[in-house]
């Protein structure tokens, strides 16, 4: 199968577009609040540095060498082509599970964008009520916006790599970064900023517990789009001789910096307005509109622009979340892009409806299992288990299965022997044990919460 090629800068933007998404701006800030502030941030940063980066290089390598959909790429790289390693490529299906709730959240964002034109809450209390009402009561509205989000994602996917994905990323990524930067500069003038810095960076070791570890490791995979063949699938369209090591480095830096900026800025606002930092998934929808309301007409403008950019950041990630499935279905079953995209979208759209219903007052009970709403189950299943597990599979594959010479050959144009050794060591003896530890830790948490 012939795949249209990215340009080099196009690939970096697309990979960064995949990484930088709702994970950075919607999820990271509220997770910091929910799981212990600085302690969570510290584990998150350590994982990115010592595990995430190495695994990202490994993942890009599989696509770059395999040059096909995820299943065929694993097969191509495996020493025994008839063996079972190709099944590792099915990690791409995790994307369909992520998309169920991801699309709902893009829907919320689109709703807030239109809502902000007429109304911005003046206090956090009002903002909190508004968000609670949306997710708790407004079923029709949520489904409509979830549907609009699905249509947008589909329409970009249908254009394929060149026409849609690369173009969308080129315009929207820089716009988003500028807006966040502007908000951060504004936040720095507030008294709440010092508190925000302390909250995010005061590493209180007493707050490190097994749940914080699981969440932080899982989130570092989520935010780097790791463990489900997203960037792997993009990498199959990389021009030969692209420096995959440097590319991975840029993606990690950009992703981490944006998450930090978003967190610092949002908590400055939260503390400035005297709110509780553990606001959960509603955080971004409560803190920022309240701030924007202080800025008069200009605030309305910024609010609309912010939610627009956030929706786009979500969409550039969403396309990478669905693309592995689409690419596989096209290669394997010879489906058209239209057919593959439509079927994948119908699946995540439908399950997404059940996910959003699980937060509502009327149907919540019906879609709550073992005390957890379906929305949270889908989120935790992917973030805490499927993504770290996928990452472990990639790390074992590159670290222990593929011949060392072959791995070295893929990188030798870009890095020297010593750097290679350090990276290879970290895949084999840091990433693999750390991920096994995290997954065992998760089993422990599950058995404790059952008992
Ligand atoms: N990295 C994206 C974000 O932070 C989400 C994502 C997860 C994208 C997995 C691709 C694969 O929002």
As a whole number of angstroms, the distance between CA 395 and CA 77 comes to: 13
* Percentage of the chain modeled with pLDDT above 70: 96
User: Whose CA is closest to atom 7 on ligand 1?
Assistant: 225
Q: Is the CB of 222 under 6 A from ligand 1?
A: yes
Q: Is the CB of 176 under 6 A from ligand 1?
A: no
Pick the atom of ligand 1 nearest to 320's CA: 10
Mean pLDDT by 10 residues, the chain (451 residues): 66 89 96 91 95 98 95 96 95 98 98 96 92 98 98 90 66 81 92 95 83 93 98 91 92 96 93 82 92 88 88 92 96 96 98 98 97 97 98 98 97 96 98 96 77 49
- φ/ψ of 369, rounded to 5, equals -125, 130
Mutate to test the pocket of ligand 1, among 14, 16, 17, 21 (most ligand atoms within 8 A of CB): 21
Per-position DSSP letters for 93-116, written without gaps between them: GHHHHHHHHHHHHHHHHHHHHHHH
- What confidence score (pLDDT) does residue 54 get? 97
Instruction: Please indicate, yes or no, if residue 3 is contained in any of the structural domains.
Output: no
Instruction: Please indicate, yes or no, if residue 451 is contained in any of the structural domains.
Output: no
- What confidence score (pLDDT) does residue 189 get? 94
- What confidence score (pLDDT) does residue 2 get? 44
User: Whose CA is closest to atom 6 on ligand 1?
Assistant: 225
Q: Is the CB of 94 under 6 A from ligand 1?
A: no
Ligand 1 center from residue 318 Cα (angstroms): 7
Number of domains comprising the chain: 1
Instruction: Please indicate, yes or no, if residue 364 is contained in any of the structural domains.
Output: yes
Instruction: Please indicate, yes or no, if residue 449 is contained in any of the structural domains.
Output: no
End-to-end, the C-alpha distance of the chain in Å comes to: 51
**Rg of the chain, C-alpha, whole Å:** 21
Cβ 217 vs Cβ 62: under 8 Å: no
Cβ contacts of residue 374 below 8 Å, gap of 6+?
354, 355, 357, 358, 367, 368
Mutate to test the pocket of ligand 1, among 14, 17, 22, 23 (most ligand atoms within 8 A of CB): 23
Instruction: Please indicate, yes or no, if residue 23 is contained in any of the structural domains.
Output: yes
Q: What Cα–Cα distance (Å) separates residue 359 from each residue in 126, 133, 142, 214, 343?
A: 19, 10, 11, 24, 26
- What confidence score (pLDDT) does residue 165 get? 63
Cross-strand bridge partners of residue 373: 368
As a whole number of angstroms, the distance between CA 213 and CA 300 comes to: 39
Longest dimension (CA), the chain: 65
Question: What distance lies between CA 112 and its chain's CA centroid?
Answer: 20
Helix (H) or strand (E) holding 368: strand 368-369
Place of tokens 């750097």: 419
Q: Count Cβ atoms within 10 A of the Cβ of residue 429 and give its class: 0-12 exposed, 13-18 middle, 19 or more buried.
A: exposed
CATH number at residue 258: 1.20.1740.10
Cβ 18 vs Cβ 320: under 8 Å: yes
- Dihedral of CA 31/394/237/154: which sign? negative
Cross-strand bridge partners of residue 369: 372
Ligand 1 center from residue 223 Cα (angstroms): 5
Cβ 388 vs Cβ 222: under 8 Å: no
- What confidence score (pLDDT) does residue 150 get? 98
- What confidence score (pLDDT) does residue 114 get? 97
Instruction: Please indicate, yes or no, if residue 338 is contained in any of the structural domains.
Output: yes
Pick the atom of ligand 1 nearest to 313's CA: 12
Domain extent for 155? 8-442
Angle between helices 296-333 and 337-357 (to 10 degrees): 130
* Cβ neighbours of 399 (radius 10 Å): 22
The reported pTM is 0.94
Tens digits of residue pLDDT in 277-308 = 778 899 999 988 998 998 888 899 889 988 98
- What confidence score (pLDDT) does residue 4 get? 61
As a whole number of angstroms, the distance between CA 13 and CA 337 comes to: 22
Q: Is the CB of 223 under 6 A from ligand 1?
A: yes
- What confidence score (pLDDT) does residue 208 get? 82
Q: Is the CB of 230 under 6 A from ligand 1?
A: yes
Instruction: Please indicate, yes or no, if residue 447 is contained in any of the structural domains.
Output: no
Instruction: Please indicate, yes or no, if residue 336 is contained in any of the structural domains.
Output: yes
């Amino acid at each position: 199968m012939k795949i249209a090629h990215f340009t080099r800068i196009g690939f970096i933007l697309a990979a960064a577009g995949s990484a930088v998404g709702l994970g950075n701006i919607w999820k990271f800030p509220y997770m910091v609040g929910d799981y212990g502030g600085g302690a969570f941030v510290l584990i998150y940063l350590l994982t990115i540095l010592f595990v995430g980066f190495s695994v990202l290089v490994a993942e890009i390598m599989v696509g770059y060498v395999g040059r096909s959909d995820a299943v065929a790429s694993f097969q191509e790289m495996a020493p025994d082509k008839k063996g079972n390693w190709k099944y590792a490529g099915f990690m791409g299906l995790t994307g369909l599970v992520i998309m169920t709730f991801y699309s709902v959240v893009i829907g919320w964002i689109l709703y807030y964008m239109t809502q902000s034109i007429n109304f911005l809450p003046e206090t956090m209390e009002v903002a909190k009520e508004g968000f609670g009402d949306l997710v708790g009561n407004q079923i029709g509205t949520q489904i409509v916006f979830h549907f609009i989000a699905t249509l947008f994602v589909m329409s970009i996917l249908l254009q394929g790599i060149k026409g849609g994905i690369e173009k969308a990323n080129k315009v929207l990524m820089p716009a988003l970064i500028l807006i966040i930067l502007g908000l951060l500069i504004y936040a720095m003038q507030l008294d709440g900023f010092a508190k925000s810095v302390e909250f995010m960076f005061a590493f209180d070791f007493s707050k490190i517990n097994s749940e914080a570890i699981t969440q932080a490791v899982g989130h570092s995979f989520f935010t780097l789009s790791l463990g489900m063949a997203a960037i792997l699938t993009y990498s199959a369209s990389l021009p030969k001789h692209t420096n995959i090591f440097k590319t991975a480095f840029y993606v990690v830096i950009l992703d981490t910096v944006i998450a930090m900026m978003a967190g610092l800025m949002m908590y400055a606002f939260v503390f400035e307005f005297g709110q509780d930092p553990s606001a959960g998934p509603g955080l971004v929808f409560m803190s920022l509109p309240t701030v924007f309301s202080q800025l008069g007409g200009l605030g309305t403008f910024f609010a609309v622009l912010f939610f627009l950019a956030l929706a786009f950041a979500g969409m550039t990630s969403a396309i990478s979340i669905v693309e592995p499935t689409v690419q596989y279905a096209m290669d394997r079953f010879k489906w058209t892009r239209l057919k593959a995209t439509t079927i994948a979208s119908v699946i995540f759209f439908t399950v997404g409806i059940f996910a959003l219903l699980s937060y509502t007052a009327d149907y919540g009970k019906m879609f709550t299992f073992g005390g957890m709403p379906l929305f949270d189950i889908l989120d935790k299943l992917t973030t805490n288990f499927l993504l770290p597990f996928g990452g472990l599979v990639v790390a074992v594959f590159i670290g222990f299965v593929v011949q060392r010479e072959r791995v070295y050959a893929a990188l030798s144009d870009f890095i020297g022997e010593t750097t290679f050794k350090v990276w290879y060591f970290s895949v084999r003896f840091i990433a693999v044990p750390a991920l096994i530890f995290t997954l065992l830790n998760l089993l422990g948490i599950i058995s404790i919460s059952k008992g």
